[in-house]
């Protein structure tokens, strides 16, 4: 019988974490495309403006912005964690 090495266990754990992260990312991505709120938000925030609101959700490595403003024609943005909120 072959002995399980410590390196093999670490590889399996890292691979499982990556697969779980990919599943979480795609679940929230497809929910955002359907104009639904993401499930796996680390932080949520809603900002009030004179012409509407902006909902933001920060997940594990990504952000989503849902614009409900008359001065911005985009409704939803989903991207990496370093994207910034549009002001105009």
The secondary element (H helix, E strand) that includes residue 18 is helix 6-33
Radius of gyration, CA atoms only, the chain: 18
Question: 32: which residues sit within 8 A by CB, 6+ positions away?
Answer: 38, 64, 66, 76, 78
pLDDT bracket for residue 85 (50, 70, 90):
confident
Domain ranges of the chain: 6-80
Q: Model confidence over 29-76: pLDDT tens digits?
A: 999 889 888 899 999 999 998 888 899 999 988 999 998 888 877 788
Please say if the pLDDT value at position 86 is more than 80: no
- What global pTM score does this model have? 0.75
Q: How far apart are CA 28 and CA 49, in angstroms?
A: 26
Is the pLDDT score of 83 beyond 90? no
């Amino acid at each position: 019988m072959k002995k399980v090495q410590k390196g093999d266990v670490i590889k399996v754990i890292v691979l499982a974490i990556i697969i779980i992260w990919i599943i979480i990312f795609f679940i929230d991505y497809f929910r955002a495309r359907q104009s639904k709120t993401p499930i796996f938000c680390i932080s949520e925030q809603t900002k009030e403006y004179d012409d509407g609101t902006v909902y933001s959700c920060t997940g594990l490595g990504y952000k989503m912005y849902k614009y409900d403003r008359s001065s911005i024609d985009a409704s939803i943005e989903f991207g990496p964690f370093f994207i910034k909120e549009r002001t105009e």
